[in-house]
């Protein structure tokens, strides 16, 4: 009877990283492998936990959400932080560091292909979250400017603030598109990295888990950024119900094609009507008083609704700012951990 087996990071029967990005219903991962004569039948819990976190994060990005809310942003950032923390724990594991050390002792000046790809992906993710942090700080100033313009009924100031917000929304959309490309590129390169590390079962398992985590992190970040841009664009215009709102995530639904110009022109027409009613005199002046009161009441209701949308968007921006701060720190820690593993000790 064989005793004293050491648990190893061998390959497991899980879907490839590219399958995590399919727009289909995801099946639960199976972390049991074919029975071997020399090793136990269960997979290492560190890699299994990383695959579970990646799969849960991908499923979260596919789940329909009723509205883009601060709770949704905080939940996504927390899931993303847990995934990256699990990735850091995997890089700290001795059986994950040993293949990289052996690769260096063989005289190879460059790190393994999957490790080099992970360094680049972590750097891109950290740069994206750093850019979003700066953009969110500027967005809070724009929201304060729009709030002041609504409170003071300054149409020109409101139009300038909304134009700046539209430019910021386009920047967020471009960042989300870049991260989606990163997730697809990481999934396509996962099979290459796994094949390059196929000589060692432990290294292949680590490469597979790292590729899955990178795909999930990029996809979740893109969903959060796209959702924030969509919520900002929709808050600048009159809200229109969409038949897709109950079945599609807000991170994937484009903003309603109703621009802030329509609201601004409607506001200006009501202002002109009220001014004309005040200047008019004669027998029909008293009959126009109810019309003036009705216009003022409607304008006040729309102004209060717009201010409420701005306050809701401010809460989402604060939640996204806090989440990006936490994710940025975890990304930096993960990249530093990998650099420490790859740096030779003299």
14-42 tens-digit pLDDT: 444 444 444 433 444 333 444 444 334 34
Looking at per-residue pLDDT, the higher value among 277 and 13 belongs to 277
Bridge partner list, 264: none
In our burial notation (b when 16+ CB lie closer than 10 A, e otherwise), range 322-343 reads: ebbebbbebbebbbebbeebbe
Q: How deeply is 112 buried, as exposed, middle or buried, from its count of CB atoms within 10 A (0-12, 13-18, 19+)?
A: buried
> Is the pLDDT at 332 greater than 80, yes or no?
yes
Question: 74-104 burial, b if ≥16 CB within 10 A, otherwise e?
Answer: bebbebbbebbebbbebbeeebbbbbbeebb
pLDDT at 77 over 50: yes
d(CA 164, CA 156): 13
Q: How far is it, in rounded angstroms, from Cα 165 to Cα 229?
A: 9
Q: If you write DSSP's letter for every residue of 63-101 in order, what string do you get?
A: S--SS--HHHHHHHHHHHHHHHHHHHHHHHSHHHHHHHH
Q: How confident is the model at residue 301 (pLDDT cuts 50, 70, 90)?
A: confident
Q: How many CA atoms lie within 13 A of 282 on its CB side?
A: 5
- In the predicted structure, residue 13 carries a pLDDT above the cut 80: no
**Element (H or E) spanning 231, and its range?**
helix 201-235
Cα 277–chain centre separation = 50
Q: What is the largest CA-CA distance in the chain?
A: 109
Confidence of residue 267 (pLDDT cuts 50, 70, 90): low
Q: What is the mean pLDDT of residues 247-275?
A: 50
Q: What gap in Å lies between CA 275 and CA 269, rounded to an integer?
A: 10
pLDDT of residue 125: 93
Domain ranges of the chain: 17-342
Q: What distance in Å separates the CA atoms of residue 230 and residue 107, rounded to the nearest whole number?
A: 50
pLDDT band, very low/low/confident/very high, at 124 (cuts 50, 70, 90):
very high
Q: Are 238 and 258 in contact (CB under 8 A)?
A: yes
Confidence of residue 265 (pLDDT cuts 50, 70, 90): low
- Per-residue pLDDT of 131-144, as tens digits, reads 999 888 888 888 88
Residue that is written with structure tokens 């094949």 in the block? 195
Which region among 17-21, 89-93, 295-299, 328-332 has the lowest average model confidence (pLDDT)? 17-21
Helix axes 155-196, 201-235, angle to 10 degrees: 170
Q: Is 197 exposed, middle or buried (0-12, 13-18, 19+ CB in 10 A)?
A: buried
CA–CA distance, 22 with 216 (Å, rounded to integer): 12
Q: Is residue 140 helix, strand or coil?
A: helix
CA distance linking residue 192 with residue 45, whole number of Å:
24
Structure tokens belonging to residue 86: 């699990």
What are the tens digits of pLDDT across the range 231-240?
887 766 543 3
pLDDT (average), residues 177-202:
64
φ/ψ region of 4 (left if φ > 0, alpha if ψ in -120 to 50, else beta) reads left
């Amino acid at each position: 009877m064989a005793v004293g087996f050491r648990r190893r990071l061998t390959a497991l029967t899980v879907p490839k990283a590219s399958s995590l990005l399919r727009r289909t219903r995801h099946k639960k991962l199976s972390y049991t492998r074919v029975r071997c004569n020399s090793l136990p039948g269960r997979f290492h819990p560190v890699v299994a936990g990383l695959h579970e976190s990646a799969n849960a994060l991908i499923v979260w990005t596919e789940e329909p959400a009723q509205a883009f809310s601060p709770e949704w942003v905080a939940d996504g950032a927390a899931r993303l932080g847990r995934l990256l923390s699990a990735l850091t724990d995997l890089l700290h594991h001795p059986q994950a560091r040993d293949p990289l050390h052996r690769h260096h002792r063989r005289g190879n000046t460059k790190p393994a292909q999957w490790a080099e790809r992970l360094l680049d992906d972590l750097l891109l993710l950290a740069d994206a979250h750093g850019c979003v942090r700066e953009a969110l700080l500027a967005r809070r100033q724009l929201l304060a400017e729009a709030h002041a313009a609504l409170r003071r009924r300054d149409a020109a100031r409101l139009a300038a603030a909304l134009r700046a917000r539209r430019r910021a929304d386009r920047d967020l959309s471009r960042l989300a598109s870049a991260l989606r490309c990163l997730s697809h590129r990481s999934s396509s390169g996962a099979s290459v990295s796994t094949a390059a590390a196929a000589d060692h079962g432990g290294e292949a398992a680590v490469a597979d888990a790292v590729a899955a985590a990178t795909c999930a992190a990029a996809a979740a970040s893109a969903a959060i950024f796209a959702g924030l841009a969509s919520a900002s664009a929709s808050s600048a215009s009159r809200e229109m119900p969409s038949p897709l709102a109950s079945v599609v995530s807000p991170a994937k639904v484009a903003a309603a094609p109703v621009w802030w110009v329509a609201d601004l022109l409607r506001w200006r027409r009501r202002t002109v009507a009220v001014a004309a009613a005040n200047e008019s005199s004669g027998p029909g002046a008293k009959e126009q008083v109810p019309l003036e009161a009705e216009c003022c009441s409607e304008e006040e209701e729309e102004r209060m609704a717009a201010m409420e949308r701005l306050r809701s968007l401010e809460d989402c921006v604060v939640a996204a700012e806090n989440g990006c701060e936490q994710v940025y720190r975890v990304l930096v820690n993960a990249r530093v951990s990998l650099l420490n593993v790859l740096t030779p000790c003299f």
